Amino acid sequence: MPPRRVITLMSVVGHATAIIAIVVAQLFAVGPLPTPRHPLAFDDVTHVTVKDIDLPAPPRAAASLSRATASPNAAPLTAPTGITKETGIENLAVDSARSEAVEIEGSGGSAIDALAGARRALPPPPPPPPPQAPVRLHSGMQAPRKIVDVSPAYPTIARTAHVEGVVILEAVIDAAGGVESVRVLRSIPLLDQAAVEAVRQWKFTPTLLNGEPVPIVMTVTVNFTLK
């Protein structure tokens, strides 16, 4: 047998003998047993005393709400403070209207005349709000859509002179979608009038701003091309 294999065999036998000796020594060893782990337990018990807690007082807002919902015709419970003397000018317009109606009835007038006199004594109603000015069309608005398109009539003199091009106009469109006015921004003298007359006949859908129709100012173009 080669010497190298003999050495390997002896090494394996020596290691096996050492391992067996260690295991046998542990089996026959006599000593104290390990102390088992102490399980978690609640040794100390503390008694809890439950005490009643007084409820907070109701908020004052509830009392004021109940007072606000009381009938206005109910008699007051406390005497009011800060009462001033009458000046004699309270309800002056109503008293003058009543006196005028009484005078008309006493002179033989009808009840309609008395009512008319009372109305004349009242102040006039406030004036209506001014109409909304046209606004420039922007991205936050629902753009109008043309529903009636009228082509311009090519002027004879412009056709004879071979004049063509684009006329740029500024149109004011009312809340209903009709064209109120037209102004020329870029002019071609022989074609301006035909472009303005055509745009005045256009119709659009109402322009909406926050869901409400509004008048707008928008720029339109009319193209004249000789065929």
Q: How many residues does this entry show for the chain?
A: 227
Q: How far apart are CA 80 and CA 70, in angstroms?
A: 17
AA identity, residue 157 = I
Q: Kindly report the backbone phi and psi dihedral angles of residue 198, in degrees, each rounded to the nearest multiple of 5, phi listed first.
A: -70, -45
**Structure tokens given for 144:** 């109008």
Average of per-residue pLDDT across 91-102? 54
Q: Full-prediction pTM beyond 0.85?
A: no
In the chain, DSSP assigns E strands to: 135-136, 146-148, 165-173, 179-186, 203-204, 208-209, 212-213, 216-224
Q: CB of 220 within 8 A of CB of 171?
A: yes
Residue carrying the six token digits 């542990």: 26
Amino acid at position 62, single letter: A
Angle in degrees, CA 75, 80, 86, rounded to 5: 105
Q: Determine which of 69-73, 123-127, 163-167 has the lowest per-residue pLDDT on average.
A: 69-73
pLDDT at 104: 47
Phi, psi of 112 (to 5 degrees): -65, -40
Taking the C-alpha atoms of residue 38 and residue 182, their distance in angstroms, rounded to an integer, is 99
Cα separation, 123 vs 98, whole angstroms: 15
Radius of gyration of the chain (CA): 52
Farthest-apart Cα atoms in the chain, separation: 160
Residue where the block lists tokens 């782990």: 37
% the chain with pLDDT above 90: 33
Amino acid residing at 186: R
pLDDT at 183 over 60: yes
Would you call 103 helix, strand, or coil by DSSP?
helix
- In whole angstroms, how far apart are CA 65 and each of 62, 70, 75? 5, 9, 18
- 22-77 tens-digit pLDDT: 877 777 666 666 666 666 555 566 667 777 777 777 766 545 555 555 566 676 67
